[in-house]
Amino acid sequence: MEQVLELFRNISIRDVADMVIVAFVFYKLYMLIRETRAEQLIKGILVLLIATPLSGWLQLHVINWILKNTMTVGFIALLIVFQPELRRALEYIGRTKFLTKSIVDIEEEEIKNTVGELVDAVGSLSRQKIGALIVIERETGLSEVVETGTQIGGRISSGLLINIFIPNTPLHDGAVVIRKSQILAAGCLLPLTDNPNISKALGTRHRAAIGITERSDSMVVIVSEETGVISVAENGKLKRFLDTKKLSDILLQSYKAEENRQWQFLKMKWRNKDE
Residues 192-198: what's their mean pLDDT? 86
pLDDT of residue 206: 95
Is the pLDDT reported for residue 200 higher than 90? no
- What does the pLDDT look like over 18-29, one tens digit per residue? 888 988 888 877
Work out the pLDDT band at 269, boundaries 50, 70, 90: very low
Can you tell me the distance from the alpha carbon of 132 to that of 191, in angstroms, rounded to the nearest whole number?
A: 16
Q: 3-class SS at 81?
A: helix
Work out the pLDDT band at 101, boundaries 50, 70, 90: very low
Kind of pairing between the strands at 132-136 and 175-179? parallel
Highest mean pLDDT: which range of 83-87, 115-119, 199-203, 214-218: 115-119
How distant, in Å, are the alpha carbons of 96, 202, 236, 269 from that of 264? 13, 39, 27, 9
Other Cβ atoms closer than 10 A to 26: 10
Is the pLDDT reported for residue 96 higher than 80? no
Is the pLDDT reported for residue 240 higher than 90? yes
Return left, alpha or beta for 13; rule: phi > 0 is left, psi -120 to 50 is alpha, else beta: alpha
Contact between 184 and 157 under an 8 Å Cβ cutoff? The reply is no
Is the pLDDT reported for residue 251 higher than 70? yes
pLDDT of residue 180: 83
Other Cβ atoms closer than 10 A to 65: 12
How distant, in Å, are the alpha carbons of 104, 249, 262 from that of 256? 9, 10, 10
Work out the pLDDT band at 104, boundaries 50, 70, 90: very low
How distant, in Å, are the alpha carbons of 78, 80, 90, 157, 244 from that of 83? 8, 5, 11, 37, 37
Residue 172 neighbours by CB under 8 Å, 6+ apart: 131, 164, 165, 166, 187
Highest mean pLDDT: which range of 86-90, 94-98, 144-148: 144-148
- What does the pLDDT look like over 22-66, one tens digit per residue? 888 888 777 766 655 566 667 777 888 888 888 888 888 888 888
pLDDT of residue 275: 47
Is the pLDDT reported for residue 198 higher than 70? yes
Q: Where are the alpha helices (DSSP H) in 58-107?
A: 61-72, 74-81, 83-94
Is the pLDDT reported for residue 197 higher than 80? yes
Give the chain's end-to-end CA distance (angstroms, integer): 52
